[in-house]
Structure 1
Amino acid sequence: MKLLVRADASVEIGMGHRVRCQALIHAFNELGWQCQFVVDQRYQAFASQQDCLIGGESEEECKSEFLALARQSDLVVLDHYGYSADDIAQLYQYQTNLLVLDDMNDRGEFPAKWLLNPLQQDYSKHIEFPLVGSRYALLRPAFQQLDESQSSPEQLLITLGGTDPLALTLPILNALLVSNFPTKYIQVLLGANAKNADQVIHFCRVNNIAFEQGLADVTPLMKQAKMAISAAGGTLFELACMGVPTIFAQVADNQTRSLQQHVPLNWCRSVRFDNVVEDVRQQGVEQLVEEVNRRWLDHQWQQNASRIARSLVDGNGAKRVAEKVNSYFLMP
């Protein structure tokens, strides 16, 4: 059985779409499927050699070329905000075995065999099998079988996503030091394509701050984290799975609904950066660091937050989705 995944990654788009689709591909591979990414060639710097590159100078060329590929596959996974409801409806005409990944539920009605959203959202009757809620969060395989042994985490993990699109890591580190937060407790995790990575690494070395870049398995660092400062993409569900109380920096509009659902559960807090001009971001950084310092010694909140977070995500979402979809193809 052949599965095609239409998703892109770049500094502007971020790495979240690709990371969660990689988790899904791993789960389908385990069931014997042949899987391949289909990527806009303009973003090939973030692709792998095994990916199928399509398109030319425009998104429309990509969409047209992908339609022909979709018809030749058994299943299509679409994780792409560039596709409107009309685009999805056209793709569905070419391939009815269509799984759409969604976050915002803001594109109107469209048809699909499966719809996956790790948030609680209502979709129209045009979706045959909705897969909604945090039990379907797509986490990497390392999150499926975590060591449950007790530990006493001490670190503040700072991770602003695969690309850190707003380059927030350095100003956050500066603000932490100005607030006299002890550097021995800070652990920085940079994505392989993070903005200003060289400057951040230099700052960490000068100030004796621990850092890692481009780790394939982030679970050891998350296990050591007493709290985290993080972007609010797919990492939100990873940190929830690990039970890490977090102050989220919202760096993209598509993170809005996720935070609207999770912040009221009282395992995390958030500060928004994507809708303010660059000159005003420093105020948000100071607000974020103030919140970290307020919560750092609040052990009761941390304990409750960790328990709530763990109850939301079990790490088996990708496996759960793949098995549900695969069972459809096994029906007589």
Structure 2
Amino acid sequence: MRLLVRADASVDIGMGHRVRCQALMHVFTALGWQCQFAVDRRYHAFSAPEDCLVETEEAFWWLAATVDLVVLDHYDYNADDIAALYQHQPNLLVLDDMNDRGDFPAKWLLNPLDEHYSDSIESQLTGSQFALLRPVFTQQKTIHTLPEKLLITLGGTDPLALTLPILQALLISKFPTESIQVLLGGGAKQAEKVLSFCEENSIAVAQGLSDVTPLMAQAKMAISAAGGTLFELACMGVPTVFAQVVDNQTRSLEQHVPLDWCRSVRFDNVPEDVRQQRVELLVEEVNGRWFDIEWQKKASIMARSLVDGDGANRVAKTINSYFSVP
């Protein structure tokens, strides 16, 4: 059986689509499927050698018709685009977050939020139990010391370059540098400046890690972008102040912040000259929660109850069973 994943990654798009699709592909591969990404040639810098680069939508349609299953994780596809793809490959799994594209057909729909879609979709896999996490999150390592770090991770690319101003604001607020752990993605903006700042101020920093669970396990709290990392931090039970950096993170924060395991500050809807004020608000929120041990305990319990890390297995096995039926 052959699976084709349509997803792109770039500094502006981020790495989240690719990362969660890789988690799904890992399980399908274990089930005996042959899996491959289809990537727009414009984003080849963030592709892998084994990916199939496509020039046009027609070229992708042709590929889609030659495989058994297509996974679509792409915000540039509106309802009409999805319907056109469905005509070429009805065995279509659409990954969604915002539920704002209108009515479209698909065999399966996956959204880790509690959303409802039309009857045009045959099977709806919705809720945090279907969050696609990498295999390491189902094999969490036990840490025998109390978490004591503030983990700062703004995604694979840090599209708004927030890591450095957040660090600067934390130091101005007298937050202890020995309690800070920075995690940079491989394509993070201003990475060299961040690395230099961390070295000058004796701040722990890591970049491009394949397994982030040890750092998350050591985190008492986190500052994070609110993409797929939201579900990873929930799985690890880390109370978090999220920086919303793109519009498609709105729904997840609307559903998770009221559960009181996280807070959020929005950056994507303000001009660049206002972001510094938002950075200061975010740092104020962190400082206000850093010593609130009671809230941290309740928040951690709530977060862990939402995501168990087994979502990719649930999704892949559900779909695989469809093809296994005689």
| TM-score when normalising by structure 1 | 0.97
**In the TM superposition, what whole-angstrom CA distance separates every residue of 1:52-91 from its partner, at most 9, and x where no partner exists?**
0011xxxxx2x22110000000000000011110111111
Listed one character per residue, the Cα deviations across residues 235-280 of structure 1 (whole Å, up to 9, x for unaligned) are 0000000000000000000000000000000000000000000000
**What letter matches 1:201 in structure 2?**
L
Aligned mates of 2:141, 2:149 — CA distance in 1 = 18
2: CA distance, partners of 1:287 / 1:174: 13
Instruction: Encode CA deviations 1:145-204: one digit per residue, 9 max, x unaligned.
Output: 213565410000000000000000000000000000000000000000000000000000
Which deviations, in whole Å up to 9, do the C-alpha atoms of 1:208-233 show, x marking residues without a partner?
Answer: 00000000000000000000000000
| TM-score, with length taken from structure 2 | 0.99
- 3-state SS of paired residue (2:296): helix
For the residue of structure 2 that corresponds to 1:18, the secondary structure is helix
SS of residue paired to 1:105: coil
1:101-112, aligned counterparts within 5 Å? Answer: 101-112=95-106
Shift of 1:144: 1.1
Structure 1 match to 2:315: 321
2:12 aligned partner, one-letter code: E
Amino acid at match of 2:7: A
Alignment of 1:151-300 (within 5 A): 151-300=145-294
Give distance in 2, aligned partners of 1:138 and 1:103. 12
**Structure 1 residues 178 and 306 mapped into 2: Cα distance closer, same or farther (>3 Å)?**
same
Question: Is 1:145 aligned to residue 129 of structure 2?
Answer: no
Q: Distance in 2 between matches of 1:49 and 1:187?
A: 32
- Distance across 2 between alignment mates of 1:24 and 1:65: 24
Q: Which amino acid aligns with 2:319?
A: V
Structure 1 outlier segments of 4+, above 2 Å: 147-151
Identity %: 72
Equivalent residue number for residue 43 of structure 2: 43
Calculate the aligned-residue CA RMSD, in Å.
0.7
**Aligned equivalents of 2:4 and 2:263: distance in 1?**
36
Q: Distance in 2 between matches of 1:9 and 1:149?
A: 33
| Structure 2 residue runs without a partner (length 5+) | none
Kindly report which structure 2 residues correspond to 1:26-65, keeping only aligned pairs within 5 A, or say none. 26-55=26-55, 61=56, 63-65=57-59
Gap runs ≥5 in structure 1: 56-60
**2:5: which partner in 1?**
5
1:129 is aligned to 2:138: no
Q: Aligned letter for 2:40?
A: D
SS in 2 for 1:131: strand
The whole-number CA distance in structure 1 between the counterparts of 2:144 and 2:322 is 40
Q: Which residue of 1 aligns with 2:112?
A: 118
The aligned counterpart of 2:14 is 14
Does the 8 A contact of 2:9 with 2:46 survive in 1?
A: yes
The aligned length equals 326
| Amino acid in the other structure paired with 2:31 | L
Give, in whole Å, the separation in 2 of the partners of 1:140 and 1:52.
22
Structure 1 residue 66 and structure 2 residue 56: aligned? no
AA paired with 2:146?
Answer: S
Q: How does 1:302-321 map to 2 (within 5 A)?
A: 302-321=296-315
